[in-house]
Structure 1
Amino acid sequence: MTPRLKDRDRTDLIVVHCSATGPKSDIGKREITQWHLKRGFVTIGYHYVIRRDGSIETGRRESEIGAHVAGHNSNSVGVCMVGGVDAQGKPADNFTTAQYETLKVLLGQLKARYESARIVGHRDLSPDLNGDGKITPNEFIKACPSFDVASWLKKNSL
């Protein structure tokens, strides 16, 4: 039985992640849940997982506080796309067309439910390391989700 977790009071962010797995690794909620349990989580940290074939698997209930981005879990929904690294483990935008199509639909649905929420990539929530008030690529602590979410949103009219 999945534990009942506390619900969020508000939703300010929709955060796109990657699983940091290679392009041939077809994993999903089951495997990510196992990884997260080993890290001490009570269940999977994400609310949604988009598999390589574009299918969606539901992780935590959408209303529950997630465990996917430090400092922002209590006000965000987490969406994880399977993939994001190459065969050498380096960041790579290797998501399938089906995944991007599903991401567009899912983000549209989430944005309709949480109109004031900002859609960002995990890396966009890195701390401002040089204190200039902007987060720039040289400051990203993580590459996740291995693509520029803001540019993708503009290109896809979201």
Structure 2
Amino acid sequence: MRKINYLVVHCTATQPNAEIKNIQNYWRKNLGWKSPGYHYVIKADGEIVPLLSIDKVSNGVANWNSQIINISYIGGIDKNGNPKDTRTAEQKASILKLLKDLKKQFPNAKIQGHRDFPKVAKACPSFDAKKEYKTI
């Protein structure tokens, strides 16, 4: 198993109704990625969709991925494309449950947002994940 130092929360930077297959197509066709951007994606209804086994490396945070489990909710922008916390109550509950489960497996892993890494100039996940999940 990989050494996991971070559990990282992302947003897809799409509208909340975006479909996972379209996000995956973007990764493959536009970015040329062979692996998904996240290990898990949380749909608006709270469904947690695994995209990649956690023993594999996903593409969430450049230069850090070998030590990360990447989790994303679908959404994160407003109608004009500006950063906005668009999480539904169901997404919030699912992210919390998933982080608690992963923290049991990786008790020393830090929980933070994509934006909390050095040299990241993104608002992702469009809320302060460090603050919100500091008690996990």
TM-score > 0.5, shorter chain as reference = yes
Amino acid at match of 1:153: Y
Cα distance, 1:19 vs structure 2: 0.4
Match of 1:60 in 2: 52
**Per-residue CA distance 1:26-76 (angstroms, 9 max, x = gap):** 422x22211110111113221000001100111111110111101111110
The reply to whether residue 31 of structure 1 matches residue 5 of structure 2 is: no
Asked which structure has the greater CA Rg, the reply is 1
Number of equivalences: 135
The reply to whether residue 113 of structure 1 matches residue 105 of structure 2 is: yes
Task: Provide the C-alpha distance between the structure 2 equivalents of 1:32 and 1:22, rounded to a whole number of angstroms.
Answer: 11
Q: If the length of structure 2 is used for normalisation, what is the TM-score? A: 0.93
Task: Provide the C-alpha distance between the structure 1 equivalents of 2:67 and 2:51, rounded to a whole number of angstroms.
Answer: 17
- Highest RCO, 1 vs 2 (Cα 8 Å, sep ≥ 6): 2
**1:1-158 to 2 correspondence within 5 Å?**
9-23=2-16, 25-28=17-20, 30-38=21-29, 39-127=31-119, 141-154=121-134, 157-158=135-136
CA RMSD between the two structures: 1.3
- Contact 1:26–1:52 (CA<8 Å) still a contact in 2? no
Q: Which runs of 4+ in 1 moved over 4 A?
A: none
**Per-residue CA distance 1:100-135 (angstroms, 9 max, x = gap):** 0000000000101111110110000132xxxxxxxx
Cα distance, 1:9 vs structure 2: 2.9
> What are structure 2's unaligned runs of at least 5 residues?
none
- Contact 2:35–2:58 (CA<8 Å) still a contact in 1? no
Q: Sequence identity of aligned pairs in percent?
A: 36
Look up the SS of the partner of 1:112 in the other structure.
helix
Task: Provide the C-alpha distance between the structure 2 equivalents of 1:126 and 1:31, rounded to a whole number of angstroms.
Answer: 29
